[in-house]
Chain A
Amino acid sequence: MELQKLNVKFFVEQPDKIALTDFIDVFHSWIQATDGVYHDVADYSHMQAGPGVVLVANSANVSIDESGARRGLLFSQKAPLTGSNQEKIRAVLGAALDNCRMLEAEPALKGKLRFAANEALLSVNDRLVGENSQQSFDALKGDVEAVARQLFGGANVSVERNADSHRQLNVHMRSSAAMDTAQALRNLTVHSPIGGALT
C-alpha cells in the first residue's frame, strides 16, 4: 500500500472553553500573516458534529473538526507525499502537531486551548489507496505502530480500527501516558516536508 491523502486528527482537551466560531477569526489572522499560502476559511459552525471551521489551502486543509462529536484539529494532506509510508505518516503527524502548537500559542485564544497528544486518529482519505478492511488495516498496522511508538516516546501504544466499512481506512493510536504537543513533536524529531507550507 502506497499511502497518500492522509488525515490526522488530534483531539482538544476541554472543548467547551472556546466557541467554535472563535477559530474563524484566528484562521483569518493566519491568512493575513502569510502570503498566498491559504485560500479560504469555510464556516460550518451551524452543523452538528460536522467539519467545523476549515482553513483551506492547496497542499492541505487544517480544520477544527467536530466529526464523531469530538473536537480536534484535523490536518488533511492533499498534495502528494514522498518517502516511505512511515516517513509519510511522520510527516503528516508532524504537520498536524505544528498546527496544534500554533493554535495553542495563539494570543486570541488566551491559552484556553490544549490538545491531548497521547491520542491521534489517522485515516487514509482515498478509498482507492485503501478500503476500510481488515486486510488494508493489517497492511498498514506495522508502519503505524512503529511511528506511534516514536510519537508516544515508547510508551504503551495501542492501535485499533473502526471497522465500519463505509468509513475511510482509519487507525486510532493511543498511549496511556499523558503527553503534550511539544513533547510529541520532540519525540517525532523528523521534520515534515510539508509542515513548513502550513505553519
Chain B
Amino acid sequence: MDQQLNWKEKLGAKIPAELGREIDIFEQQMELRKAGKIDEKVFAETRLRRGIYGQRYDNGQRHDGKRVQRLPFNADLVKGPDTFWDAPGMVRIKIPFGGVTPEQFETLADLSEEYSDGVTHVTTRQDFQFHYVHIDDTPALMRRLAAVGITTQEACGNVVRNVTACPLAGICHEETFDTTPYAKATAKFLMGHPDTQDFGRKVKIAFSGCEQNPCGLVTMHDMGAIAKTRVVDGKKVRGFAFYVGGGLGSVPYKAKLFDEFLPEEELLPTMQAISRVFARLGEKRNRARARIKFLIAQLGVAEFKKLVAEERQKLADDPRWTDFLKSVNDPTEEALKAGISLNGHQRPEGFDAWYKTNVYKQRQAGYVAATVSLPLGDASSDQLRALADIARRFVKDTLRTTVEQNILFRWVSEADLPEFYLAIKAIGLGAADAATIVDVTSCPGTDTCKLGIASSRGLARELRQRLGEKSLQLDEAVKNLRIKVSGCFNSCGQHHIADIGFYGISRNIKGFAVPHFQVVLGGKFHDNAGEYGVPIGAVPSKRIPEAVSTITEFYMRQRQKDERFQDFIARIGKKAVKDLLEDLTKIPTHDVDRSFYSDWGDPREFTLADMGVGECAGEVVSQAEFTLAASERELFEAQLLLDAGHSQHAVKAAYASMVRAAQGLVKDQNPMISENDEQIIAEFTQRFYDTQLFWDKYAGGKFAEYLFKAKEFVGAGKTADADRAVQLLQEAQLFIDAAHDCHNKVRGGIASAPAIAPTLQPGA
C-alpha cells in the first residue's frame, strides 16, 4: 500500500522541478502563516498568486434567511483579512489559450472528487475552477496538477492572468495565422517575470487570429493582439495590431490601438516594457482605478506609448523574446484519424440540429471542431473522464476550453461525428445549443463569490431551461443572440458584450430587499467584443425570463429585414425598450407573494448580509513586503537544513535570507535593486545603516552588524560547526525581525527614508 507516501513523494520526478519548487515555497509560506510569521495581508496576496481564492462565507458568517449564523471556524487562524483558514475556498487553474489534454481531464476529475464537490467549472477566461476546497489540500492539489503540466501560479492576484486566445486558432478559415505559439510564449515569458510582480491590479491579455470574429475578444483586454501580416522588402512578415487599456468591470473601456503593426519579435519586449510602465505609474492605492485602462485614460495613448518606447530602449536583450519564433510555423497539433467527410454516413436522431449549432468545419479538409456544451460551464468528474475517453477515441491532445464555458474538440474526422455525437449525448452533453441564446454564460455570482449580489447562476440555469425547451421553435435571429449574466457590476460574466446582458443589483421595495438584474442590451460579442451594451433599467430577478421573452418577441415583431440586434436596439432607442419593460418592474407585495423576495434556486429571504470583501482585486502588497516574506521562508529552509544536520548549507541559506530581507528594504526605494549580495548590502548600508534608519532604539546598529558578520563569515569560506550555525540562524532571525520593524517604521511614517537616487543595475 502507498499510504505512507504523500503526493510529493508519490509523484516524485513527474512534477517539473520549477513548479515543484514553487509549490514547496507555498507550502512553507502556509506553515509560516500558521506560525504567525507572515502577515495575513501578505499571505492573502501570496495565495492569490497561486490561484487560491476566497469564497463566500469565509468570513465565518452566513445569513440563513432568518438570522446570521456564525460558522464554527477556528478563529485564531486566518488566511487573509477576515478570511478564516478552515473556510472552504476556490482554486483557479490557469489554462493558457485553453489548451488541455485528456490526461489533464482525468486529473481534474480526480481532484474535483477528492478536494472539491465533484464539479470542474470552466470560466469565462478559459480557466478551470474548483470550489469548496480546504487550503490545507492545496499543495497536494497543485502537485497533482503540476504532474500533468498545469499550474495555478498567477491565476489570481495583481499579476498577468491567464492568457486567452481564439479556441479556433490554427484551424480557422479566417485567421491570418495561428496565434497559439504566441499566446503560449507570452504566458510563459510573463509568468513570474520580475517586471510583472508589482502591479496595482491584474492584467489580462488576449490573442485573436482575425479582426472580425469574436473568439479572441481582444478589445476588452488590458493588452490584446490581433494577427496581421505585412509585406516588407517583398517578404510577408508577421506581426500584430496591438491594443492596450481595454477592460470590462463596472465601467467598460474599449482598448485603444497602440500599434497597428507590432512586429512579432517586438511582441514580448513591448509587453515587458508596458508592464514596467504600469508597475511604475499605475495606481496602487485606489484599486477601483488601478487597471491599465485608467492609467492610459489619464496619460493619453500618445504619452503612454512614449513612456513604453523609452522603457523598451532600456531593456537588455533577452533571447526568450525571439527563441520561440523559430518554431511558430511548426504544426502544433495533429489529428488521430484521416479527415473524411460526412457524406452518406448515417445520422442519429438529434444529430442534424446539433451539427448546425455545435460543429465548425475546419479549414483542413475532412476535419471539424465540435463544441461540447457544458451547462453553466460545469462538468462532473464522471463526465470529464468520459470526455477524456472520447478524446482518445477521436482526437489527440487537441482540446480547448472556450470563453463561453464549453469544451472544443478539434481535429475530429467529420465521418466520425455521428459516433462522437452519440458518445457525448450518452453522458448528457449532446445539447444542440453552442453559441445560441440557450447557451447562457454566467459568473459564479452569489453561489460562491464574496461580491455577488444576485444569483447569476440561478438565473442562467432558469433561462437555459426555459429557452432550451422552446429552442426548436425559436426564430434563427433570436436563436443566434447571446445572453451573459454577472452577479454584480464587476462583470465577470461579461454582460457588457452580450446581446442581452444582466448584472445583479438589489432594490428596496417597501422595506424589503429584492434581487434585481440590470438589463444591458446591444453589446457585441462579434468584432472582438466590438461594442458594449447600454443599461436599460432594473428588473426584478424573478421577472427576467419574462423580460427576455418580451425583448425577443419585440425584436421579432419590429425588426427590419436582416437587422442585427445591436442595430435594432440603437434604432428603437433605450427609452422604447425601457417602456416595454416597465410593467415587469412591478411586483406583488411581500405578504402577497414572497417568491419575488428570494433569488433563483435559493429559498432564503434575499439579503445583502452575506456580501464580503472581494479578492478579485487582490491585496496591494509592496515588493518590499513580498521580499521580506520570502526572507522568512528562506530562513525556514535554513532551519530545515540545520535540523537535517547540514550546518554548512544552513549557514549559507541563513545568510541568503538576511540578504533577501535587506533587499526587501532597499526595494521600497530602489525597485531595480539587483540580486547581487555585494550590491544589496552596499545599498542597505548606505540607505539604512549609515542613516541609522535601521537602528534599534536600544540595540543601535547591532542587528545590521549581524548581516555584515555573516557576510564576512560566508565570504571567507569558513566552516560552521553546529553551534555556530545555530547562532547564525538566530542572528538571521533577529535581523529579519529588525527589517520588518524598520519597514513598518518607514511605511508608517514614523521615520522617513532619505532621498538617495536609485542605482540602476546593469540589465535590471
B106 touches A166 (CB 8 A): yes
Tell me the bound Cα distance from A40 to B585 in angstroms. 30
Q: A39-81: which have CB < 8 Å to B?
A: 39-51, 54, 56, 58, 61, 63, 67-68, 78
A166 touches B86 (CB 8 A): no
Say if the beta carbon of A128 comes within 8 Å of chain B. Answer: yes
Tell me the bound Cα distance from A41 to B427 in angstroms. 24
Closest to A5 in B: B114
Say if the beta carbon of B175 comes within 8 Å of chain A. Answer: no
Q: A165-195: which have CB < 8 Å to B?
A: 166, 168
Q: What string of 1s and 0s marks CB contacts (under 8 Å) between A136-176 and chain B? A: 10010000000000000000000000000010100000000
Q: What string of 1s and 0s marks CB contacts (under 8 Å) between B107-125 and chain A? A: 0011001100111000000
Closest to A3 in B: B3
Say if the beta carbon of B376 comes within 8 Å of chain A. Answer: yes
A127 touches B604 (CB 8 A): no
> Inside 8 A of B601's CB, which chain A residues have their CB?
21, 24, 43, 45
**Given that A36-B71, A39-B57 are contacting pairs, would A128 and B10 also be in contact in the complex, using a CB cutoff of 8 Å?**
yes
Which of B17-25, B61-69, B268-276, B486-494 lies at the binding interface?
B61-69
> Taking each of B109, B110, B382, which has the highest tally of chain A beta carbons within 10 Å of its own beta carbon?
B382
> Inside 8 A of B64's CB, which chain A residues have their CB?
28, 31-32
Say if the beta carbon of A129 comes within 8 Å of chain B. Answer: yes
> Inside 8 A of A126's CB, which chain B residues have their CB?
114
B63 shortest CB reach to chain A, Å = 10
CB contact between A128 and one of B5, B73, B109, B380 (< 8 Å): that residue:
B5
Q: B137-165: which have CB < 8 Å to A?
A: 140
Say if the beta carbon of B516 comes within 8 Å of chain A. Answer: no
A141 shortest CB reach to chain B, Å = 14
A32 touches B375 (CB 8 A): no
> Inside 8 A of A67's CB, which chain B residues have their CB?
118, 380-382
> Inside 8 A of B110's CB, which chain A residues have their CB?
127, 166
**Given that A50-B119, A168-B113 are contacting pairs, would A131 and B378 also be in contact in the complex, using a CB cutoff of 8 Å?**
no
Say if the beta carbon of B132 comes within 8 Å of chain A. Answer: yes
Say if the beta carbon of B88 comes within 8 Å of chain A. Answer: yes
> Inside 8 A of A135's CB, which chain B residues have their CB?
1
> Inside 8 A of B465's CB, which chain A residues have their CB?
46
Tell me the bound Cα distance from A56 to B465 in angstroms. 25
**Given that A39-B71, A125-B114, A128-B3 are contacting pairs, would A50 and B378 also be in contact in the complex, using a CB cutoff of 8 Å?**
yes
Tell me the bound Cα distance from A78 to B132 in angstroms. 12
> Taking each of A31, A35, A50, A58, which has the highest tally of chain B beta carbons within 10 Å of its own beta carbon?
A50
Closest to B111 in A: A127
Closest to A65 in B: B118
CB contact between A50 and one of B56, B380, B447 (< 8 Å): that residue:
B380
Tell me the bound Cα distance from A40 to B446 in angstroms. 11
CB contact between A32 and one of B65, B119, B602 (< 8 Å): that residue:
B65
A42 touches B132 (CB 8 A): yes
Say if the beta carbon of A106 comes within 8 Å of chain B. Answer: no
Say if the beta carbon of B762 comes within 8 Å of chain A. Answer: no
A46 touches B385 (CB 8 A): no
Chain B contact-residue range equals 35 or more
**Given that A35-B69, A56-B88 are contacting pairs, would A47 and B117 also be in contact in the complex, using a CB cutoff of 8 Å?**
no
B458 touches A40 (CB 8 A): no
> Inside 8 A of A51's CB, which chain B residues have their CB?
117-119, 380
Q: What string of 1s and 0s marks CB contacts (under 8 Å) between A1-33 and chain B? A: 110010000000000000001001100100110
> Inside 8 A of A49's CB, which chain B residues have their CB?
380, 382-383, 427-428
**Given that A39-B62, A56-B88, A61-B117 are contacting pairs, would A166 and B109 also be in contact in the complex, using a CB cutoff of 8 Å?**
yes
Say if the beta carbon of B512 comes within 8 Å of chain A. Answer: no
Q: What string of 1s and 0s marks CB contacts (under 8 Å) between B570-612 and chain A? A: 0000000000000000000000000000000111100000000
Interface residues in A, total, Cβ within 8 A? 44
> Inside 8 A of B383's CB, which chain A residues have their CB?
47, 49-50
Tell me the bound Cα distance from A187 to B134 in angstroms. 35
> Taking each of A24, A40, A41, A139, which has the highest tally of chain B beta carbons within 10 Å of its own beta carbon?
A40
- Total A-B contacts with CB atoms under 8 angstroms apart: 124
Closest to B118 in A: A51
Closest to B67 in A: A32
Say if the beta carbon of A130 comes within 8 Å of chain B. Answer: yes
> Inside 8 A of B375's CB, which chain A residues have their CB?
46-47
Q: B317-348: which have CB < 8 Å to A?
A: none
Tell me the bound Cα distance from A45 to B384 in angstroms. 17
Say if the beta carbon of B450 comes within 8 Å of chain A. Answer: no
Q: What string of 1s and 0s marks CB contacts (under 8 Å) between B25-60 and chain A? A: 000000000000000000000000000000011000
B380 touches A131 (CB 8 A): no
Tell me the bound Cα distance from A58 to B58 in angstroms. 12
B603 touches A36 (CB 8 A): no
> Inside 8 A of B3's CB, which chain A residues have their CB?
1-2, 128-130
Closest to B72 in A: A36
Say if the beta carbon of B286 comes within 8 Å of chain A. Answer: no
A47 touches B2 (CB 8 A): no
A107 shortest CB reach to chain B, Å = 15
Closest to A40 in B: B57
Say if the beta carbon of B676 comes within 8 Å of chain A. Answer: no
Tell me the bound Cα distance from A19 to B385 in angstroms. 27
- Given pairs A50-B383, A127-B110, 20 additional interface contacts (CB within 8 A): A28-B65, A35-B69, A35-B70, A36-B72, A40-B88, A42-B131, A43-B461, A43-B601, A44-B378, A46-B376, A46-B378, A47-B119, A49-B427, A49-B428, A50-B118, A50-B382, A58-B88, A128-B2, A131-B2, A166-B106
Q: Which 10 A-B pairs give the minimum distances between C-beta atoms?
A: A48-B428, A50-B380, A51-B118, A46-B375, A43-B601, A25-B603, A32-B64, A46-B461, A36-B72, A31-B64
